[in-house]
Structure 1
Amino acid sequence: MPHKNDESQIVSAIQAMQSDPKLRLRVAARIYSVDHRKLGRRLEGVPSRRDIQANSRKLTTLEELVLVQYILDLAAKGFPPQLSVVEDMAN
């Protein structure tokens, strides 16, 4: 079995299975040295944990970028924002 999540091996196994319909999941997993359960999940369309946004994340990427830019603009003008102000903007 692989040391880490080797998504490139999983992608290769999926491509091999798509090009050869007779190739079974466990055989492909053994050939490409990936976990058969993980390969099965990828075939079902379940993304890797690395590609999923954390549930604990409060802001979207765009909201976070806008907030950071606003803070940097305030700091450039000589008005570093207080923590309470940033919290209010984030909420």
Structure 2
Amino acid sequence: MVQHSNESDLVLALNALRSDPKLSVRKAASHYKVSRATLQRRYHGQPARRDIRPPCQNLTSYEEETIVRYIVDLDSRAFSPRLSAVREMADRLLRDRGARRVGTNWASNFVRRRPELQTRFNRRIDYQRVLCEDPDAYRAWFSLVRNTIAKYGIDDTDIYNFDETGFAMGKMSSEMV
């Protein structure tokens, strides 16, 4: 009996079983050198372990992707959410379907396992004003403003004056976002 089965060999064995009704699972496993028990389970519809969502994972892949897109969207508007806000997003999704809440470390673990996300410290306003003396920073900021106006179809009469930190209500000091 083979302990470790190659996925491609399993697929070949499954195709052989489906194409030849007289072929037994035992013979197919022996011929393709795969585990008979694994082939039997796959033949009867059990998916591969890597394709199954772990039971301890609260959110579906789609829900996690939704949270990632929302975080990236907020960050593109210069309003990066704190870890507590990310946790609240997950809890809100889970509450809608009546599932239990995520744990206290869920948000930091979520950011760690998603390569497109990272934590960083939000700087005080004085530091940002020094950085805005750089012409490239001005260009980047106004490029962000132009892109946001174009993306959401914002009319010129709906634009109000904010400073270079954006609309950052409740952010008074350095904090991790």
* Alpha-carbon RMSD: 1.8
Which 4+ stretches in 1 moved above 6 angstroms?
A: none
| Residue correspondence of structure 1 range 5-84 to structure 2 within 5 A | 5-84=5-84
- Letter matched to residue 30 of structure 1: S
Using a 3 Å threshold, how does the CA distance of structure 1 residues 77 and 7 change in structure 2: closer, same or farther? Answer: same
**Offset at residue 65 of structure 1 (A):** 1.7
Cα distance in 1, alignment partners of residues 21 and 77 from structure 2: 63
Larger helix percent = 1
What is the count of residue pairs matched by the alignment? 90
TM-score by length of 1: 0.82
- Note the residue ranges of structure 2 that are not aligned, 5 or more in a row: 92-177
- Report the equivalent of 2:113: none
Cα distance in 2, alignment partners of residues 78 and 12 from structure 1: 51
**Offset at residue 20 of structure 1 (A):** 2.9
Cα distance in 1, alignment partners of residues 57 and 82 from structure 2: 21
Using a 3 Å threshold, how does the CA distance of structure 1 residues 76 and 22 change in structure 2: closer, same or farther? Answer: closer
TM-score by length of 2: 0.46
- Letter matched to residue 34 of structure 1: V
Secondary structure class of the residue paired with 1:50: helix
What fraction of aligned residue pairs are identical, expressed as a percent? 44
Report which of the two structures shows the higher radius of gyration computed on alpha carbons: 2
Contact kept in structure 1, 2:9 and 2:33, CA below 8 Å: yes
**Offset at residue 48 of structure 1 (A):** 0.9
Using a 3 Å threshold, how does the CA distance of structure 1 residues 33 and 88 change in structure 2: closer, same or farther? Answer: same
Contact kept in structure 1, 2:25 and 2:39, CA below 8 Å: yes
